[in-house]
Amino acid sequence: MDAGSFSSSTSLSSSSKTLSRRPLQEHVLPRHHHQEQVLPRHHHPSRQHGDRFIPDRSSMDFDMARYLLTEGRKEKENTAVSSPSKEAYRKQLAETLMMNRTRILAFKSKPPTPVEGVFQESSMDSVSTTQIRASKPRRYIPQSAERTLDAPEIVDDYYLNLLDWGSSNVLAIALGSTVYLWDASDGSTSELVTVDEENGPVTSVSWAPDGRHIAVGLNSSIVQLWDPTANRKLRTLQGGHNSRVGALAWNNHILTTGGMDSLINNNDVRIRSHIVETYRGHQQEVCGLKWSGSGQQLASGGNDNLLYIWDRSANTQTQWLHRFEDHTAAVKALAWCPFQSNLLASGGGAGDRCIKFWNTHTGACLNSVDTGSQVCSLLWSKTERELLSSHGFTQNQLTLWKYPSMVKIAELNGHTSRVLFMAQSPDGCTVASAAGDETLRFWNVFGTPEVSKPATKTASTGPFANINHIRNKWLPFMMWQSLSHACEEGRKRKFRSASVYKNVKTEESKHPQHNAIVFIQSSSVSLWEVLRKGSEKKQE
């Protein structure tokens, strides 16, 4: 067979394998023939070890047998010879003749041993204090993926953004010209849209903050807005770019788009003329867009190795707040810190390999860490001071860092190609990663979600809304604190909440520091001021 026919047959077989793999199904590892070990028929394992009554001398270890037989006898002899008196005599003789080195330059005798029971309570207190002050146990981080799904035909392009996890707990991923939705609550998969060859492939996806709408950027420079529940296209945004749209970012009703034409557009999806602002600064493709938590600052990264910070309140659309030139490769990975509003983390491409931290108020670079490989994506933990980064060649790993020390906490391996995209679950615990190896993996990186107690439903929003019942006649001190201001003003406060104070008997309680009395009836609370002893006047 010649080389040409061999290559054609190989490509045909690979394409057939791709077609046989269904999107977002459980990934099954290929089975290799060399793993199966079958013994030949003429092989008899029993003959290798000799007869069952006569052992094989070649498989015996006489030295070990001799040691095991004699060692136990020696220990018994030594135990029989030694006694408490002889042991004490031996120690005293050694201390006298050989000198105890621990007593050199220490001429005082050792303090007496404390009597049992003395200071026992204080020692227990110190132990409990030590236990309380002990450091929090280290969180267990699984080193393998919790789940792996197939992602055939995913575009292996560093400058695209093809994965996003919405607040409705539905994961969106673009595979070629099709957008699939994977529901994390039940594991179901549905197809949202398949674009035609003229507009495809899909170059970016991004969920709206409400989790009910999704934006889809296409290679033909247009952006589509979809309603996944009704599986209906709402509108098409066009005219803002003349090439593919590889970056999307939401800020309430504003959808920001970044394209290969180096333009950044703010689109108000509520109005017909949707382009309300255009930021000009990049010279090459915009591949990273992230709005800050406050919605006032926008970070943009491009293939021109530049990082811009745009202020929404600025008067001019072409004037940026900060322009950073420290990266030496494309800047795609961007992540705003959830616990510090002015802290931004950015990651560079293969020629840079650094994670940098910026103070966006002052424009200062706080730290720079060389990761050793291409930085593809960044995610902050919502509960801990930790940062997760995904990388390319050579290890294609996910690395968890402790901030601000930037000490590696864990490295998660499993992908066989660069990990281009990451998305975080709504509870902030699970991270989904998609790579060029056509797999989608789920990692339990940030622990299990904390189960919060449901808030008690009350019908009142006043100071007494959180009181569900009264245990005795006297009101708690915290309740008096909430009434202190009313007592000082000397005004009547009356709160009606029939659902809260239903079936409550009439009670009264005198304020410990103010001349006031509270009367609690079945559906109301009244505050009275005491003017003088023996006479009460109700405040109007």
Domain boundary among 396, 422, 444: 444
Does 492 reside within a domain?
yes
Please say whether the beta carbons of 343 and 387 come within 8 A.
no
Q: What tens digit of pLDDT does each residue of 71-101 get? A: 655 555 555 555 777 778 877 777 776 655 5
Q: Are residues 490 and 413 in the same domain?
A: no
- Classify residue 30: in a domain, yes or no: no
| Higher per-residue confidence, 333 vs 114 | 333
Q: How large is the average pLDDT for residues 241-248? A: 98
Cβ atoms of 382 and 337 within 8 Å: the answer is no
Q: In whole angstroms, what is the distance from residue 526 CA to residue 38 CA?
A: 89
Question: How high is the pLDDT of residue 235?
Answer: 97
Regarding whether 505 and 359 lie in a shared domain, the answer is: no
Examine the domain organization and report whether 336 and 264 are in the same domain: yes
- Pair 435, 484 in one domain: no
What's the pLDDT at 19? 47
Q: Which of 310, 316, 318, 304 is nearest to 261 (CA)?
A: 304
The pLDDT > 70 percentage for the chain reads: 62
Q: Can you give the CATH number for the domain in which 250 is found? A: 2.130.10.10
Q: Which tens digits make up the pLDDT trace of 47-71?
A: 455 556 666 666 677 777 777 777 6
Q: Are 286 and 263 in contact (CB under 8 A)?
A: yes
Q: Do 490 and 350 share a domain, yes or no?
A: no
Domain membership flag for residue 7: no
Number of domains in the chain: 2
428 domain residue, yes or no: yes
138: confidence class by pLDDT, cuts 50, 70, 90? confident
pLDDT reported for residue 424: 98
User: 335 and 218, same structural domain?
Assistant: yes
Same domain, 434 and 313: yes
Same domain (yes/no): 488, 409: no
Identify the pLDDT of residue 469: 39
Domain span holding position 221: 147-444
Give pTM, 2 decimals: 0.65
pLDDT band at 452 (very low <50, low <70, confident <90, very high): low
Q: Show contacts of 405-410: CB within 8 Å, 24+ apart.
A: 406/355, 406/367, 406/369, 409/141, 410/141, 410/143, 410/445
Confidence of residue 454 (pLDDT cuts 50, 70, 90): low
Instruction: Look at residues 402, 426, 444 and tell me which one is the last residue of a structural domain.
Output: 444
Report if residue 113 sits inside a domain.
no
pLDDT score recorded for residue 104: 55
Specify whether 285 is located in the same domain as 345: yes
Closest CA to 265 of 252, 253, 250, 276: 276
pLDDT at 315: 67
Identify whether residues 489 and 362 lie together within a single domain: no
Q: Report yes or no on 334 lying in a domain.
A: yes
SS3 202: strand
More confident residue, 501 or 383: 383
Q: What is the largest CA-CA distance in the chain?
A: 115
Query: Hey, what are 433's tokens?
Result: 């990663």
pLDDT for the residue 448: 74
The answer to whether residue 74 is domain-embedded is no
- For residues 444-453, average pLDDT: 73
Give phi and psi for 17, each to the nearest 5. -65, -40
122 within a domain of the structure (yes/no): no
pLDDT at 139: 85
Distance separating alpha carbons of residues 283 and 300, to the nearest angstrom: 12
Say whether both 394 and 265 belong to one domain: yes
Domain boundary among 444, 466, 498: 444
Shared domain for 196 and 324, answered yes or no, is yes
